[in-house]
Structure 1
Amino acid sequence: MLSLEELAVRLFDAGAVRLGDIEAKIGRRTPIYFDLRVVVSHPQIMIAVAQRLQKLAREINHDLLCGVPYAALPLAAVMSVNTNTPMIMKRKETKLYATKKMLEGVYEKNQNCLVVEDVVTSGGSLLETVDTLRSEGLIVSHAVVVLDRDQGGAAVLKENGIVLKPLYTMTGLLKMLNDAGKINDETVEIILEHIKESQFCSGMKDNLEVM
């Protein structure tokens, strides 16, 4: 299994970590953008990320996996196959014909479902998935995520009954990439200042995800 430091460098080299003045959701700007969608073109990296998430998941009681659409779906699928854990899928929109379901797959009420996410900023996208799962009678208490951007999302999720388990925090990822010579001290300072100035408040469900 790749170390977290080695995996961070692989993700950077694959283009999953982008630097610059980047427009994210709802017109917000960010000096760093984490795009995990690119790993579908890098099977070995996708396997390595999934293995790391599986290690986190082993510590959590769960009967099912559910990836937040769309970036986390491939990771949840790899985890499901590797661990022989059933997976369900949340649709972006309600199916307008036949079953008209919001969830696809086989599940029963009161089963424990572990949510898989790529990036958490405000926690809004993850909470949308949690709300759907809970409305179907599933128990959701934990989520595993590749990156927590350190912008308050973990606190928002905690207030909504979700414990977040990240592979990386933004602070930790920056240190790894800096130590590996991938980003310089000035870039680290710019990003950390942006993170400090772009905090999402706890005590509310914020559906605005920067990433």
Structure 2
Amino acid sequence: MSAAALKSLLLEKSVRTGTFTLASGKESDLYIDCRVTALDPFGANLIGELGWAAVRERIAAEGLKIDAIGGMTLGADPISLAVGMTSAKQHPDEALQVFTVRKEPKGHGRGKQIEGNFKEGSTVIVVDDVITTGGSTIKAIDVIEREGGKVAFALVLVDRQEGGREAIEARGIPVLPLFTRKTLLDEA
């Protein structure tokens, strides 16, 4: 039921068809702005429930110990927080800490590029809202690894199925999408 409700909300709030220029510079017939759904309280709750269920299943299947969840700001932030909050509510002993990756290091203070609950040596899940080429996810992975973290896998709300998953997996990072273009749009 939660998957159907989240799909319906994504289609209503986040999916647009037409002609669009994406962040990658590519033109597409599909635009997906997951932030509108992820920042909706009902959407955030659904993302937390479905995301945590998928993550917990992956952790159990592979015997992983995960410390934290996060990704490139802004798209990953509400998703990471929703999954982290659900993990704390449902399984406090397995609760995931949450962090965010800045696009550039902060220009003052300690000059950090990762904010929140991340520390060197952490094993983490990297998050993205939508992957097309995988570029922003890979940038987040690079920052996490440079700061001494290990990425176990990537959690993605929507995989547009345009090569991003393959690019991330070529780095040795498995991708766990909640939806693909095909499943979201019921394409054959």
Q: 1:78 is paired with a residue of what secondary structure?
A: helix
Give 1 or 2: higher strand fraction: 2
The Cα offsets for residues 37-80 of structure 1, whole Å up to 9 and x where unpaired, read as 11255210121022111111112331111132111201111222
Corresponding residue for 2:79? 75
Corresponding residue for 2:156? 145
CA distance in 2, matches of 1:170, 1:132: 28
Corresponding residue for 1:10? 9
Q: How many Å apart are 1:88 and its aligned residue?
A: 1.5
Larger Rg, first or second structure (1 or 2): 1
Corresponding residue for 1:37? 35
Q: TM-score, normalised by structure 2?
A: 0.85
Q: How many Å apart are 1:25 and its aligned residue?
A: 2.5
CA distance in 2, matches of 1:41, 1:74: 6
The RMSD of aligned alpha carbons is 1.8
Distance 1:155 1:38, change over 3 A: same
5+ residue gaps, structure 2, are 89-95
Corresponding residue for 1:171? 182
Distance 1:139 1:105, change over 3 A: same
Within-5 A mapping of 1:130-209: 130-175=141-186
Paired amino acid for 1:21: T
Q: Identity, % of aligned pairs? A: 29
Corresponding residue for 1:198? none
Q: How many Å apart are 1:133 and its aligned residue?
A: 0.4
Within-5 A mapping of 1:87-98: 87-98=98-109
Corresponding residue for 1:19? 17
5+ residue gaps, structure 1, are 176-187, 190-211
Aligned residues between the structures? 175
User: Residue 65 of structure 1 contacts residue 87 of structure 1 at CA under 8 Å; is this kept in 2?
Assistant: yes
Corresponding residue for 2:93? none
CA distance in 1, matches of 2:119, 2:44: 29
The Cα offsets for residues 166-189 of structure 1, whole Å up to 9 and x where unpaired, read as 0111112121xxxxxxxxxxxx68
Q: TM-score, normalised by structure 1?
A: 0.76
Which structure is higher in RCO with an 8 Å CA cutoff and minimum separation 6? Answer: 1
